[in-house]
Amino acid sequence: MKNTNSLKIFLFLSIILPLMAVSQENKNILKIQKDHYYQLIKMSLKSDADSKAKLDDYFMKIGKVMMASGAKVYSFAVTKASVGNGPAQMFLIGEYPDRKSPDKIFQSEAFFKNRNQRDHALSYLNEGFFLATADGEFDLSKGNLRLYSLWVKKGKEEELNTYFNTIMPLSMEMGAITAPFTFVPDPAVPGKGYDASMVFIGSWSKEGEDKFYNSKLFKENKEKRDNALNFLEEYEIMYIPEQAQ
């Protein structure tokens, strides 16, 4: 999937956001806290006419337990699958006060009663629980946003670090901005091996991004990056702030 219907995504998110509003003065700032708990969700709606209505209705039905969990949500529309040809149309970051809070949703009667309705509306769903490596803030209003998910080969962590240490000065010189935090899988959750080893967000200017990927330094080091990874998935994403109440 290379492009998505932005209006369809906007209308879908207008249902979610009033239920899980981000309480902050600047709606464009993604504020991450290391002691909080994060759910990263990638999903796509089926193309039939009823899917959006089914998903909207699902969120309305579980709205009370979502609010009771203390969750906040940051919502993004996928505008392009840049690397890895990923199928997601939407990306959500759910933030919870602690590890136990998601159970108020996912162990609730409302969720179990309606989860099949959600799944029938979706053509793709990938989700996992993550920890943040650091406290920090990232301005989602600057540049063209990118979402990077990396699956690192066992024993190749240092090789990947060497790659980043080599290329980061040039990428920053060319306008790349990366969030000061990374999401890593929660080791306490079974099945964590299916989650990406790390997920992070950044932004580029279009001109700077093109210059970087065409640079001699990147081309000389790309093989080192690829040798350290089982898989790399990159999306171009667009942040959708909460709707005015």
Report residue 12's pLDDT band, with 50, 70 and 90 as the boundaries.
Answer: low
Residue whose structure tokens are 């002691």: 35
pLDDT tens digit sequence for 136-174: 999 998 779 999 999 999 999 999 999 999 999 999 999
Angle at 43 between CA 32 and CA 238, to 5 degrees: 55
DSSP state of 185: E
**Cα(237)–Cα(245) distance, rounded to whole angstroms?**
24
Find the mean pLDDT for residues 70-80.
93
The span from the CA of 74 to the CA of 82, in Å, is: 21
**Which residues are within 8 A (CB) of 158 and not within 5 positions of it... i.e. 6 or more apart?**
none
Residues belonging to the chain: 245
DSSP string, 79-117: EEEEES----SEEEEEEESSTTTTHHHHTSHHHHHHHHH
- pLDDT higher than threshold 80 for residue 2: no
Over residues 179-234, the pLDDT tens digits come to 999 999 998 886 666 789 999 999 998 899 999 999 999 999 999 999 999 999 99
Taking CA atoms, 161 is separated from 131, 164, 182, 228, in Å, by 19, 5, 13, 9
